[in-house]
Amino acid sequence: MDRRSFLRTSALGGAAAASTTLAAPAYAQGNRTLTMVTSVPDGFAIFDDAAQLAADYITSATDGALTIQKMPAGSLVGAFEVFDAVSSGQADLYHSAEYYFLNQHPAFAFFTSVPFGMTGQELANWYYHRGGAEQHTELASLFNLKPFLCGNTAMQPGGWFNNEINSAEDLQGLRFRMPGQGGQVLGRLGASVQNIPGGEIYQALSSGQIDGAEWIGPFADERLGFQEVTSNYYTSGFHEPGSALALSFNLDVWESLSPAHQVIVEAACRATNATNLAMSLAENGAALARLQSAGVQTRQFPEDVWDAFGQASAEVREENMSDPIYADIANSYFESMRESAGWYEIADGEYMRQRNRVIG
Nearest to 76 by CA among 42, 37, 102: 37
Domains and CATH numbers, the chain: 31-152+241-283 (3.40.190.170), 159-240+296-359 (3.40.190.10)
Q: What are phi and psi of 349, to 5 degrees?
A: -60, -45
Query: What secondary structure letter does DSSP report for 348?
Result: I
DSSP one-letter code for 157: P
Over residues 8-41, the pLDDT tens digits come to 444 444 334 334 333 334 444 579 999 999 999 9
Tens-place pLDDT, residues 247-296: 999 999 999 999 999 999 999 999 999 999 999 999 999 999 999 999 99
What is the pLDDT, as a whole number, of residue 360? 74
Q: Distance of alpha carbon 69 from its chain centroid, rounded?
A: 22
Query: Considering Cα of 276, then 277, then 282, then 287, what sign does the dihedral take?
Result: positive
Torsion of CA 304, 305, 309, 311, to 10 degrees: 20
Q: Which of 10-14, 174-178, 332-336 has the lowest mean pLDDT?
A: 10-14
Helices (H) then strands (E): counts for the chain: 14, 11
Q: How far apart are alpha carbons 234 and 220 in whole angstroms?
A: 15
Give tens-digit pLDDT for 210-258: 999 999 999 999 999 999 999 999 999 999 999 999 999 999 999 999 9
